[in-house]
């Protein structure tokens, strides 16, 4: 097992693709982010490297995935703040400042289903994304339409769709 801080550095880099953004969001100095992700990588016997300007993981990620699930369960139970990717909606009044109990990130990858991959890997807990990024027949995700005129949806893993903290944020977003 690794601490929340160690895993947040590694997963933050994979999610946000920027050590500076990770440092700001998780209130860590950029050198701490780098040191923590290296320690975490050693624990899980993986390597993190840039490929086509994106951070990617090399190695068996089985134990890392199990640890992510444990950390996500802790976030859902209120032991840490939940994570939501909001892409271009970062300046929306609902996310600036972040809702209570949430960390709000923006990867600037609106044309890329990166956030869906982060959601699938338990790196983040929810994301706002174009509904077209999620296959309609997907058995993994629940997509709640938030704004019909721009076809944006709130996506979560189906197993978390009825979790209280998730439902609270969905209700707030639907009021807009």
Over range 72-101, report the average pLDDT.
86
Digit-coded pLDDT (tens) for 154-165: 889 999 999 999
Shared-domain flag, residues 96 and 67: no
Q: Domain containing 44: what range?
A: 1-80
Q: Which candidate, 132, 143, 148, 130, places its Cα nearest to that of 88?
A: 130
Distance separating alpha carbons of residues 105 and 14, to the nearest angstrom: 12
- pTM exceeds 0.75: yes
Please report, for the domain that includes residue 17, its CATH number. Answer: 1.10.10.10
Distance separating alpha carbons of residues 142 and 108, to the nearest angstrom: 23
Q: Quick one: pLDDT band at residue 91, thresholds 50, 70, 90? A: confident
Shared-domain flag, residues 4 and 52: yes
Shared-domain flag, residues 91 and 56: no
Over range 100-114, report the average pLDDT.
79
Q: Quick one: pLDDT band at residue 68, thresholds 50, 70, 90? A: very high
* Residue at which a domain ends, from 48, 80, 112: 80
* Residue at which a domain ends, from 61, 80, 99: 80
Secondary structure (3-state) at 119: helix
Say how many domains are in the chain.
2
* Residue at which a domain ends, from 80, 96, 128: 80
Digit-coded pLDDT (tens) for 120-140: 999 999 998 877 777 666 778
Shared-domain flag, residues 147 and 176: yes
Digit-coded pLDDT (tens) for 10-37: 999 999 999 999 999 999 998 999 999 9
């Amino acid at each position: 097992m690794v601490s929340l801080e160690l895993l947040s550095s590694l997963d933050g880099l994979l999610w946000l693709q920027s050590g500076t953004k990770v440092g700001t969001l998780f209130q860590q100095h950029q050198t701490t982010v780098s040191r923590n992700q290296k320690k975490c990588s050693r624990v899980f016997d993986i390597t993190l490297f840039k490929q086509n300007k994106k951070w990617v993981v090399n190695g068996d990620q089985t134990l890392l995935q199990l640890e992510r699930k444990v950390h996500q369960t802790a976030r859902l139970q209120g032991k840490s703040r939940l994570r939501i990717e909001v892409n271009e909606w970062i300046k929306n009044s609902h996310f600036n400042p972040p809702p209570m109990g949430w960390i709000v990130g923006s990867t600037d990858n609106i044309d890329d289903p990166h956030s869906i991959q982060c959601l699938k890997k338990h790196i983040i807990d929810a994301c706002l994304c174009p509904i077209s990024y999620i296959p309609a027949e997907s058995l993994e995700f629940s997509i709640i339409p938030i704004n019909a005129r721009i076809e944006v949806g709130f996506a979560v893993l189906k197993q978390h769709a009825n979790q209280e903290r998730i439902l609270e944020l969905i209700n707030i977003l639907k009021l807009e």
